[in-house]
Structure formats: C-alpha cells, structure tokens
Structure 1
Amino acid sequence: MTESGFPQTPFEASGSDRPRDPINDRNESHEIERTGQPRGVLVVEDDFLIAMQAEAALLDAGLEVVGLAATAEEALAMATQQRPALVVMDIRLAGTRDGIEAAGDLFRAFGLRCVFATAHDDQQTRNRAAPYAPLGWLAKPYTMASLVGLVREVLSTQD
C-alpha cells in the first residue's frame, strides 16, 4: 500500500480478484519513458471508493488509467513517471496541498491540463484554477457515465 492507503497494484476493472501483472506493467512503464508519448488518464482523488469507481468506469470504457493518486505529491511523481495525456483532479486531497496546487505543478512541469471532478465548483475555486487552463469541470456527485463522456471528449480533441 502507498502512504495514501491505495494499493500499489490496483485490481483490474473486470471485477477479478487477480492483480495486474507487475512484469507487464513495468514493461509498459519503460515504454512510456522510452517514447515520451503521453497516454492514458491519471486519476487524483483521495476518496478510495470514488477513485476505484472512476478507474473501473474508465477501464470498462476502453480507456487507459496510468495511476491513482491521493495527494499532490503522488500526482506529480506519477505524472513524472507515467506521462499521462490527461489528469482527472479532485480539489480536496489528502495531505497539505490541494488539487489546484497540484494542477499548477502539473501544468508548469509538463503542460498537463486537468478535468476537475470536485464538490468545490464555486466561482472563487474556478478563478483559482483558471491560470492552469482546466479542460472541464464535473460537479460532485457526478455519474461515471459523465466522467467517461468528458474524458473521451477531451482526449479526442487532443489528438
């Protein structure tokens, strides 16, 4: 388990109790590092159940999830290693830094932009996030179908 309490090897979305193959995961990670091509979605959410639901919904929709993070620091570390094409970001995160600060780090370091999926959807919060060019907002509670739809829409416009 990571310090956030998320498993190091999330289970497949198929509902199987079989963990992902760490050898293949490691090979995929090396492929990302070699090619440097962004791919997949990084989910940054400190609520374990919501993070797992989001991962399962995205995987079931045929999208790739490169990782789950619960803190700003985990998000930056995963983005450095995995080079996601998109980040789904909650505002309230575990730890001392929030999702807007994490989005700022990701934007400055990698040019990554976020879809914010949060209960904090007020104008002041949107204004704080504006400098990091959000790709969209999902107000909690949101459906997994709306998450998948927005992620697909954003990814299709980035090609």
Structure 2
Amino acid sequence: MKKKILIVEDDSLISTIFRMFLKELGYDLLGIVEDGKEAIRLCEKLGPDIILMDVHLGGELDGIQTTELIKSKFDIPVIFLSSDTEESTIQRVINTHSYGYLVKPIDKKELGISIELAFYKHQFDLDQKMREKRFRNFITDSPEAIVLVNEGGHIEYLNCLGLKLFKTAYIEDLMGLPLLSFVGDDYQNEFRDKLERSVEMGKGIDYTHIKFKTIHGDHIDVGLTGAHIEFNGKNNLQLIIRDVTQEFAYREMLAEKADIINHFHDGVVTFDLNGMVKSWNKGCERIFGIEEKEMVGKPYSDLSLSGREKSFTEDILIPTEKDNNYEIELSFEIDGKETLLRLYSSMLRNDAGIDKGIVCYVREV
C-alpha cells in the first residue's frame, strides 16, 4: 500500500517540485496546504502517514507550533523542510521530537530516503509504546510491589503497591530519587555493591533481604529480586519487592520460643509422621544421655524400650490421632537401667489443618 503524504508549504514553486518528486517516488499525495490550521484539519480528516512541514509558515501558526499540535492530537511523524540553519530554530525543532530535518534545496533521492526512515522509525516507536503500555499494565496489576531503577540507581517508576510499600500515595515523592536513600544504614554498602555489580555485569539480583526506610523514616524488612528490562527506551533494573516485616517478626518469635523450649528441664522431642526425630532439646539430652546431633534424623526405634519391640505407630501415632492430648508411660533402657518416662503427645498441624508431625513432652516418673 502506498504511503500517504501531506505537504504543508506556503511556497507554491517548492510545493510543485515536491509534488513531482512524490509522484516519481511512488507515494500517494493527499494534498498541499499553506497554513497550520488547515494542516491540522486535513490530518483529522485524511490521516496521512507522513507530513512534510515547512518551518516558517505564514499565518497564525508556524510549522513548529503546528507540529506540536499535530503530535499531541494525532501522533503523525513530521519531516521539517527549511533553509534555516540557525541554532535557535534547530533547537525548537529538536524539542518537537520530529522525524527529520531537510535543508532546502532538497533532491528527490534524499527526500525518498527521509520518508522511508521516518515511516519505519515511527512504526518502531509505536510498537515500543505498545510494549511499554502492556508492561505498565502488567506492573500496575502485579500482586507484588515493583520498582524500576535506572543504571544510575535512581527510581524511574513504581506501581501502586510500590507506593504503598514506601508509605506514600504520590509517585512524585519518589521519582528520580536514589534508591539507596531508602535503604537502611546497615545495608547500604552491601546493597550498593549488588546494584553496581548488576549494572556492570548486566545480570539481575538474586533474592536478598535488606531493610528499607519509608518516606517517614520507618524501617521495614523486605525481600527482593531484580532483573534487567528495557523501559522508556533505556535499560532499567526491575525490582520485585515484598514486605517481610511480619514474617521476620514471626520467625524471631519462633526462634525465641525454640530457644526457651530447648532449655526446658524436661524433654521436648518432635517426630515426623514416619517416626523420624526432627528436634531434640537439652531436656532430652539430659534424660536419655544422647546429644541432639546423634538423634536428629534417627528413628524412634533407636530409643531403647525395655522388654518389647518398639513401634512408633502403635506407641505414639495411632493413639495421638485418636486423642490429641495423649498420655502414656513407657520404660526405656538408659545407661543400662530401666527408666520409666511419661510422654504427653499432640499432633502438629499446618495452617490448613493437615497433620505434619507429633510433639512429645517427656518427663521422668
């Protein structure tokens, strides 16, 4: 299909020459207009593929002003035509992000090459905008906080969950600021090294835990990963960030509880459903005379029960499944002596209520 061209030129001699050139080059000339307002009207009516625009048009709008309006309304590529090479004019043209600037007089071959380059560059730009639009939609709809950081380490973009992470509703509070300014002091050097290595080697960032600061200075624990992407035509590091503050607080609480349990005078032992020892506190070490490293990963049957075969299923599992607060007295051979122990057992279940193991509280009788 022939590319459709609109000429905006108030010099009839030059426009006649361009008409001849375009016909010989095989383009479809939609029309020739002499002022900016008429050019805008024809853009809306005819939808040209390329506009050849004289810089110094007569009338209310010059060529540069007309181009700015056309770009904002229709996004049609414009090639400027002028004999003006003044720096001030060139700078105004640059600011319009036009697709070419041809200095008069212009030959046919140069015109044809410029039209083809402008057309395909514009198609590439449209594809790029579509990809970025889809990517923005992906970021916006993501269930995770996403922050884009440029190669200088400054924030380029972030989604709504990213704003929520930093405790603000306004993207302007964060755009352009160095990400390191929101990293906790104790993590600054480590994270700076990760960012610099990522940029230098072109690789992402493996999962890492650091502390972030919100815009109010509050500290939060986060886990993040990073991957390089192209955004706004530039290389950026996409960080997927998750607030793990509650998770870390829960882990610390569990660690404190585990430490307390580990130092109980009485024994506390956990088994998986196959009877393998998963944990063994210091109380068990005292009662059985066996260290934790010797028992974890070993079966219940390794414990010496007096006078009979040892069966985790019969002794512990089945009774505890029937009664979640099961109590039993068993005789164990400890240091060559028969020792009577009382075991209190309960099921260990996950959040979905599925049995994962058994915990036994062990006390000497």
Fold equivalence (TM over 0.5): yes
Taking the TM superposition and a 5 Å limit, the aligned residue runs for 1:6-155 are 39-155=3-119
1:51-82 alpha-carbon deviations (Å, 9 max, x no partner): 11111211211111111111001111111111
Aligned length: 121
User: CA separation in 2, counterparts of 1:157 and 1:54?
Assistant: 22
1:88-133 alpha-carbon deviations (Å, 9 max, x no partner): 1111112132100110111011012211111123221121122321
- Choose between structure 1 and 2: higher helix proportion: 1
User: CA separation in 2, counterparts of 1:96 and 1:40?
Assistant: 26
SS at the partner of 1:68?
strand
SS at the partner of 2:71?
helix
Greater shift, 113-122 or 72-81, is seen at 113-122
Alignment CA distance shift 1:158-1:108 (3 Å): closer
**Residue in 2 aligned with 1:5?**
none
Alignment CA distance shift 1:88-1:132 (3 Å): same
- Give the deviation of 1:158 after TM superposition: 3.9
TM-score, normalization by structure 1 = 0.70
SS at the partner of 1:78?
helix
**Runs of 5+ in structure 1 lacking a partner?**
1-38
SS at the partner of 1:115?
strand
- Give yes or no for contact 1:44–1:69 (8 Å, CA) kept in 2: yes
User: CA separation in 1, counterparts of 2:122 and 2:57?
Assistant: 27
**Runs of 5+ in structure 2 lacking a partner?**
124-365
- Give yes or no for contact 2:56–2:62 (8 Å, CA) kept in 1: yes
User: CA separation in 1, counterparts of 2:37 and 2:88?
Assistant: 24
User: CA separation in 2, counterparts of 1:94 and 1:148?
Assistant: 26
- Give the deviation of 1:138 after TM superposition: 0.5
Please identify the structure whose Cα radius of gyration is greater.
2
Compute the RMSD of aligned alpha carbons. 1.5
User: CA separation in 2, counterparts of 1:97 and 1:157?
Assistant: 26
- Give yes or no for contact 1:113–1:133 (8 Å, CA) kept in 2: no
